[in-house]
Amino acid sequence: MSDKKGMKIKILQYMSFELFVIIFVMFGLFSQNWFTFSNFIMIIKQSSYVGILAIGITFPLITAGTDLSVGAVMFMGMSFSAMLLDKGVPLPVAMLVALIIGCVIGIVNAFFVVDVKVMPFIATLGTMTVIRGITLIFTGSRALNIPAYLTTAFGSGKLFGLIPYPAIVFIFLLLVFHIVLTKTAFGRRIFACGNNLEAAKKAGLNTRLVLYMAYVISGVLAAIAGFVSASQIGNVPAGFGEGYEFDAIAASVLGGTSLLGGTGSILPGVLVGAVTIQMIKTGLTAMQINPYLIDIFQALFILLAVMLDGIKNQVIAKSQSRHIRVAE
């Protein structure tokens, strides 16, 4: 292989990082106060809940599945927590309830995907609609208030007055699930299941357990993301978490997760992906354009980024395909 070609592949392989840098610089040219430490910290903080969702969704994605219910899980978990908190239930109990909701929905998703054998996107699209509907019945489409201390102490609080707590939670979860994915037997087996489920069964792996775990992780992390997000917003509006599954999948894919399963990473993958997406959002807002256009641009940007990523994979796959050494 010639050096030129090798270079081309290198450039493509690190495209997520390059996109990251390009988008970072581009918005910097258009907006004021972009290249400041406080802006950077703010982006990390704001990317925290999409990032946490993306950590979770990466697990079903690696198994060649998906989880479209994450935004709805955020909504349901946080709504019930907020209602309990309103009734004076202590915070840890309310949080536990949200986590249990996430866990149960994860199990339900896995049941449909693994045991009933419904295609993951249909199964989780179904649960997404159902749980959002159920929650709306309970909340009556009202925005729910959450205790002010959640916002002051956590949502906008900073460790040593420097690093926002949501960012710390995000980074902590990144580290934990990076280790889970790369260093534990479960982590390796999830890759095996995503690569070839039949072979994994033949190898004697408990593929059912592995797949259930993947959806449960996704559900539980979505519940955590609900807390992180609500404590930043200050309440739980009726459209809470709506459309976040798109951001989460995009963040994971930008970070190198393949929708075909078998590949993906938490570090650096999800971190780079989530921050890139948040930069696009923040950058567009900072440019002070028509808010209606922001949504459109945002989606187009994300689609473009994911599309480039797809092209990259195709080109790399093509260049690495079998080559015969022709006599010169």
Partner 1 sequence: MAEEQVLRLEHVSKDFFGIYAITDVSLELNKGEILGLIGENGAGKSTMMNIVCGVLPPTSGSLFFEGKPYEPKKPSDAEAVGISFIHQELNLFNNLNVIDNMFINGFRHIKGLPLNNNKEMAEIAKSALAQVGLDISPYTKVEKLSMGERQLIEIAKSILGDPKVIIFDEPTTSLTNKETEKLFAIIEKLKAEGKSIIYISHILEDVQRLTDKIAVLRDGVITATGKTEEFTIDRMISNMVGRSITQMYPPRIENISDEILLSVKNLSQPGVVKDINLELRKGEILGIYGLMGAGRSELANILFGLDEYESGQIIFKGKVLEKKNPIERIKAGMGYVTENRKEEGLFLEFPVAENINITSLRSLSKKGIVNKKEALKNAQDSKKMFGIKCEAVNKHLVKGLSGGNQQKVVIAKWVSTRPELLIVDEPTRGIDVGAKSEVYNILNELARAGTGILMVSSEMEELIGNCSRIIVMNKGMITGELNNQEICTESLLHAAFIDTAGM
Please give the residue ranges that form the binding site for partner 1 (CB under 8 A): 179, 183-185, 188-189, 191-192, 194-196, 199-200, 202-205, 262-263, 322-327
- Tell the smallest beta-carbon distance from residue 200 to partner 1 (Å): 7
CA distance 110 to 115: 8
Residue the block writes with tokens 């459109």: 296
Least distance between partner 1 and beta carbon 316 (Å): 12
Q: Taking the complex as a whole, how short is the minimal distance between the CB of residue 117 and partner 1, in angstroms?
A: 15
Q: What is the DSSP string of 117-178?
A: ---HHHHHHHHHHHHHHHHHHHHTTPPEE--HHIIIIIIT-EETTTEEHHHHHHHHHHHHHH
Q: Taking the complex as a whole, how short is the minimal distance between the CB of residue 267 and partner 1, in angstroms?
A: 16
Cα–Cα–Cα angle for 256, 175, 218, rounded to 5 degrees: 65
**H/E element holding 267?**
none
Least distance in Å: CB of 188 to partner 1? 5
Paired tokens of 113: 């995907």
Residue closer to partner 1 (CB basis): 253 or 305: 253
Residue 196 or 285 with smaller CB distance to partner 1: 196
Q: Judged by CB, which is closer to partner 1: 59, or 244?
A: 59
Nearest CB to partner 1, comparing residues 29 and 326: 326
Shortest Cβ distance from residue 231 to partner 1 (Å)? 31
Nearer Cβ to partner 1 (87/323): 323
Of the pair 38, 321, the CB lying nearest partner 1 is at 321
Q: Nearest approach, Cβ of 201 to partner 1 (angstroms)?
A: 9
Find, among 11, 27, 45, the residue nearest to 229 by Cα. 45
**77 or 269, CB closer to partner 1?**
269
**How many Å apart are CA 164 and CA 257, to the nearest integer?**
28
Residue 270, Cβ neighbours under 10 Å: how many? Answer: 34
From CA 257, how far away is CA 201, in angstroms rounded?
23
Residue 42: which residues within 8 A CB-CB, separation 6 or more?
282
Sorted by sequence, the CB contacts under 8 Å of residue 39 that are 6+ apart come out as: 33, 282
